[in-house]
């Protein structure tokens, strides 16, 4: 529905509401007579009828705005499909018809003149006295555009170049399809809204993805992680080494947050009998020690627990470092015990346990080994390589 028509509809509806309100208050003009009025009051049924009418009117208006007319749809489909010439003017078609053959020009403006016979019509499109284009219209297209190609109407016309056999053409532009300007504006506005919403969603998605730091490959190795030889580290020294590694992978963390995460990892690794360096390698690859990380599939927190997995582990808040790291460490230990009890060598069991953590135990059981998923295979390689480097061994 055109904007002018929608505005008129709004004014009429507002006027109706005002008169009804005055009627209900007793300030009724003798010219106003509403059914259902008893003793200066409007009945409940009448009020419901008025409200339903208003909803129906504006509901119809909204639907009409959202759905372009058939003519506008045809116009934009042809415009999107065709080879629209950008930056050229109709004069270019007149002077070089062979070059622009079968391509489309878009001509906009008021129709200032209609010439010709029933078999063929010429439209003058553009301001009075200086039309920008002369467009030929065949009889069948003129009939299909009844009510559009009239003098005084502002239109958009898609035209194609039809050169003559000798390379020149007096009527080089022939109408393909035309639409009223106000209908085209409505479609333009709808498309702009859709494009803006799409851009907003893409920006939001990109922002969410950027919240998760880059994967381990670009981070290098924390060279100060290896234990000094010849003596045992004190708890303070151990915490300093681990918190330094945490901040190496996520420099945005404060020292106190890094200390807290390192302390939790050391504590739960001891509880479940795991090498804390292995847990550190898993968390580094999973989230780069970002407690608020969310993957594109919905995995959350430091250990990137899926909501269903977190529920099974009794983790109520995956963004809480204590709950997440406890659940993640316990899950890793469970997978490692299951793979070791299956009689696998320790190195092979570790790889299978990591594959279970990433792809699920069901996938490992189905393929009787590391599943042939590219992500899972790269995941296992990254963690085992990093773990070996944390232990002071070669990456291979």
Residues with a catalytic annotation lie at: 286
Q: How many helices (H) and strands (E) does the chain have?
A: 14, 7
Phi/psi class of residue 198: alpha, beta or left (left: φ > 0; alpha: ψ in -120 to 50)?
A: alpha
Return the DSSP state at 216.
G
User: Is residue 269 a contact partner of residue 286, using CB atoms and an 8 Å limit?
Assistant: no
Q: Compute CA distances 258 → 78, 207, 245, whole Å.
A: 60, 24, 9
Instruction: Give the Cα separation of 59 and 78 in Å (integer).
Output: 30
Give the phi and the psi of residue 111 in degrees, each rounded to 5.
-85, 115
* Residue 173: both structure tokens together: 């532009």
Instruction: Give the Cα separation of 279 and 296 in Å (integer).
Output: 23
Instruction: Give the Cα separation of 16 and 32 in Å (integer).
Output: 11
User: Is residue 130 a contact partner of residue 91, using CB atoms and an 8 Å limit?
Assistant: no
User: Is residue 351 a contact partner of residue 384, using CB atoms and an 8 Å limit?
Assistant: yes
* Residue 396: both structure tokens together: 């291979």
Cβ within 8 Å of residue 62, ≥6 positions away: none
Task: State the number of CA atoms in the 13 A half-sphere of 323 facing the CB.
Answer: 16
Q: Which residue has the tokens 């419901």?
A: 48
Strand pairing of 133-138 and 173-180?
A: parallel
Return the DSSP state at 300.
B
Q: Which residue has the tokens 């529905």?
A: 1
Length of the chain: 396
């Amino acid at each position: 529905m055109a904007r002018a028509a929608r505005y008129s509809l709004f004014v009429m509806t507002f006027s109706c509401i005002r008169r009804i309100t005055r009627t209900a208050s007793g300030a009724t003009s003798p010219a106003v007579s509403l059914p259902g009025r008893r003793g200066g009051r409007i009945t409940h049924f009448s009020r419901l009828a008025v409200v339903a009418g208003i909803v129906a009117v504006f509901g119809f208006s909204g639907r009409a705005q959202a759905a372009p007319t058939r003519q506008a749809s045809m116009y934009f489909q042809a415009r999107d499909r065709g080879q629209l010439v950008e930056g050229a003017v109709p004069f270019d078609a007149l002077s070089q018809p062979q070059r622009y053959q079968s391509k489309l020009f878009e001509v906009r403006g008021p129709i200032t003149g209609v010439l010709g016979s029933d078999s063929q019509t010429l439209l003058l499109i553009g301001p009075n006295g200086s039309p920008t284009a002369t467009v030929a219209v065949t009889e069948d297209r003129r009939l299909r555009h009844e009510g559009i190609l009239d003098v005084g109407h502002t239109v958009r016309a898609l035209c194609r170049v039809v050169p003559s056999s000798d390379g020149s053409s007096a009527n080089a532009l022939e109408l393909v399809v035309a639409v009223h300007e106000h209908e085209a504006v409505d479609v333009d506005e709808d498309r702009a809204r859709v494009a803006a919403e799409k851009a907003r969603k893409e920006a939001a998605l990109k922002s969410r993805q950027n919240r998760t730091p880059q994967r381990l490959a670009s981070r290098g190795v924390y060279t100060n992680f290896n234990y000094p030889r010849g003596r045992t580290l004190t708890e303070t020294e151990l915490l300093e080494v681990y918190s330094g590694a945490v901040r190496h992978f996520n420099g945005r963390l404060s020292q106190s947050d890094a200390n807290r995460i390192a302390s939790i990892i050391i504590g739960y690794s001891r509880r479940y009998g795991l090498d804390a360096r292995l847990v550190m390698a898993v968390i580094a690859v999973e989230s780069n020690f970002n407690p608020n990380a969310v993957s594109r599939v919905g995995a959350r927190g430091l250990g990137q627990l899926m909501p269903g997995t977190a529920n099974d582990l009794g983790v109520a808040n995956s963004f809480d470092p204590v709950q997440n790291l406890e659940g993640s460490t316990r899950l890793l230990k469970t997978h490692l015990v299951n793979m070791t009890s299956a009689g696998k060598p320790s190195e092979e069991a570790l790889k299978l346990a990591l594959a279970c953590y990433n792809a699920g135990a069901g996938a490992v059981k189905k393929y009787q080994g590391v599943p042939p998923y590219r992500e899972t295979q790269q995941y296992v390689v990254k963690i085992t390589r990093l773990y070996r480097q944390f232990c002071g061994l070669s990456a291979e």
